Amino acid sequence: MKRLLQLLLLVALMFGFTACENESDDNNSGGDLTVNAETISAKWLITEASSEYKSIEFNESGNYILQMEDGMKSTEDLIVLFGTYIILDDNIIQLSDFGTITINSLDNNSISITISPAGGSEVTIEADKADDIIGSSSSRTDLLCRSWEMVAIDGEPVTGTEFELTVIFSKAGTYFVEYANPVYGDEGGLAQWQWKDSDEEMFCYSWDGAPTCTGENEVTITELTSVKLVIIEYLYDETFEYELAPTGSTKSAHVSKAINLNKKLRSSFLNK
C-alpha cells in the first residue's frame, strides 16, 4: 500500500511538471527571445509574396522603417514609412503615425507579427531576419549603425534649414535620410551603404541597388564616437563637411519655410 502511494505521488509530480512546462511554452508564444529594443533590432523581410508589406526594420535608437506596396499606383515603387516606436508591454509595439505591431513569436532568425494599422485591417504575417551584409561586427560598425541627426554643414548650424535631417545606418546595409523641413517635395529616401575596405574609414552608398565602391558615391569618416560623427564628401571639386550627433542630442526646429544655408550645397550623399 505504501509503495502504491509513492507511485501515485511520483505520477502526480510528473504531471504537474509537464503542465508547468507547457504553460511556460504558451506564455513564450512560440519564441525564445524577450521583446526589447535589442532583440528586435534588425531588418525583417516579409516571407509572404502576396503581402502588401515587404519589410520592417527596427533599430536600438527607437526608429522604424516600414516598406509596403503603393496600392494607389500601378508601379513597383514602395511606400517607405519612417518614425519612432515604443514597446508598450511584453509584445506590443506602438509605431508613430501608423498603428501597432504585436509580436506573436520571436527568435534569432524569424518573427511572427500582427500588423494593426490605425483605421485599417490587421494582418498576421511571418518574416525572416535579413543578413547583416556589412559583415562581421566591429567597434566602428557598432558606432555608426544608429540614428543620427545633422548638426552642421561646413560649421554652419542646420537647425531650421532644409538640411535639418535624420540619417540612419544599419548592419543590414540600410542608409536612410529623412528631412525635417523638406523643400521641392524632397522628403529623403532609402539607399544602401557598405564599407569601402577593412580600414572602415570610407564607405560607399547607392540610391539604386547595391553600392559598387568604384570611386563614385564615396565619403570619408574623419571622426566617429558615441556622440559625434563627421563625414567629408568630395563632389564637383568641392569639399563638404557634415557634423552629426545621435538623435535626441539637439533641439529640432520644424518650420513652415526652410531657411537657406549661406552656401549652395550640391550633395549626392544627402539627396537621391
What are the tens digits of pLDDT across the range 11-57? 343 444 344 434 334 444 456 789 999 999 999 999 999 999 999 99
What are the tens digits of pLDDT across the range 73-89? 545 678 999 999 999 98
For 8-28, the three-class secondary structure string (H helix, E strand, C coil) is HHHHHHHHHHHHHHHHHHHHC
CATH of domain 139-246: 2.40.128
Q: Which of 130, 268, 269, 143 is nearest to 200 (CA)?
A: 143
Query: From CA 253, how far away is CA 120, in angstroms rounded?
Result: 32
Q: Cell match 505591431: residue?
A: 101
Domain boundaries 37-129, CATH class: mainly beta
- Same CATH topology for 37-129 and 139-246: the answer is yes
Q: What is the pLDDT of residue 48?
A: 94
Average pLDDT over residues 100-126: 97
Question: Per-domain residue ranges for the chain?
Answer: 37-129, 139-246
Contacts of 173 (CB under 8 A, 6+ apart): 133, 134, 192, 193, 194, 210
